[in-house]
Structure 1
Amino acid sequence: MKRIAILASGTGTNAERIVRYFQEKGTAEVAWIIASRASAGVIERAARLHVPCKVITPDGFASGEAFRFLKENEIDFIVLAGFLSRVPDEIVHAYPQKIVNIHPSLLPKFGGKGMYGMHVHEAVLAAGETESGITIQYVSEKYDEGAFILQAKCPVLSDDTPDTLAARVHELEYRYYPEVIEKLILGLSETKKQTVYDWLI
């Protein structure tokens, strides 16, 4: 069974959905949650879900601590769920097409450093966009520039606030992210990945 590490910096709502999904399905194991700060709400969620959690600060990622931890714990697949730090090149190169991220906009719009959470939704509304959504992508050396795996859209309504738009985008995240992760992980052991990508189109 493939072992997943979830990297998170915030409250961990997406992390919880992913953990519960795999606890129910049994197709992979969320072996660890790695929080980038000691105050992250995801730490309490991990405890409630009985998933071990370790705090590794951005300095720890930069120094190689995170890379060593992932290897020592035989992690096969890495999932970013509200993780705000840059993933070091060392980790990206060690896990080619085995690190995924979810972004709360239709990239390449409203991506890049500093564009996360409510900042994204505020920018979408300020730009007068008529639709928004999510992008699930592979992680590369640069923020939000990895290859797309799936995009899902939702309307932006005339009376939307950042909070109401965020709620609609979260629904897409909760629906699609665990399923995409599962399909990719199951595809890792197949000689042909076409079935994975057929499902994603």
Structure 2
Amino acid sequence: MKVLEKQARTVDEAVQLALEELGVSRDEVEVEVIDEGNKGILSFLSKPTKVKVTVKPKPEEVAVGFLNGLLHFIDKNAKVKCLPEDEILKLEIESEDAGILIGKRGSTLDALQYLTSLVVNKNCEEFVRIVLDAENYREKREDTLEHLALKIADKVKETKKSIMLEPMYPNERRIIHTTLQKDRKIVTKSVGKEPYRRVIISLK
């Protein structure tokens, strides 16, 4: 974290001097007025204004720093890579034992993602969407759910009976709904309360 103290006749002048030296814009820093100064009656009695300018850490720096600290207690050899995408901050965990970090049906991974999102967005003016992955689990899980949705839909058409799936996280239920939304013979809906909310696949 870069911190710089500057003196000048006014707060604005002192802040501007700090911004120029740090090479950042005003919205990238936090300003603390240490001493408001005193213009004085005579020039030799005047006292300059003093400010402390701190560069705000970027969301990716906060995310990686938080995860590295947390993972130290779970897997000391795990590493976090930042892969920024449009409107998404994607983080990849590299570990020789990724299964522990993923957990059953991604439960541990989702918990880590949730905590990281809370920490990153605590002081952000605009919401930053966090996507945490390990061993390409997200894509593999999405493929699995898409195949499951199509398979169950075929069974519903064959038996003409509705089928209720196991409890799923909201993002997983969304995959089921999206996969089957164009099927003219099938309708899906979510029932129950979290964390036991399920998807029911039925004939229209």
The TM-score bracket by the shorter chain reads: under 0.3
TM-score normalised per structure 1? 0.23
The higher relative CO (CA closer than 8 Å, separation ≥ 6) is in 1
Q: Greater CA radius of gyration, 1 or 2?
A: 2
TM-score normalised per structure 2? 0.23
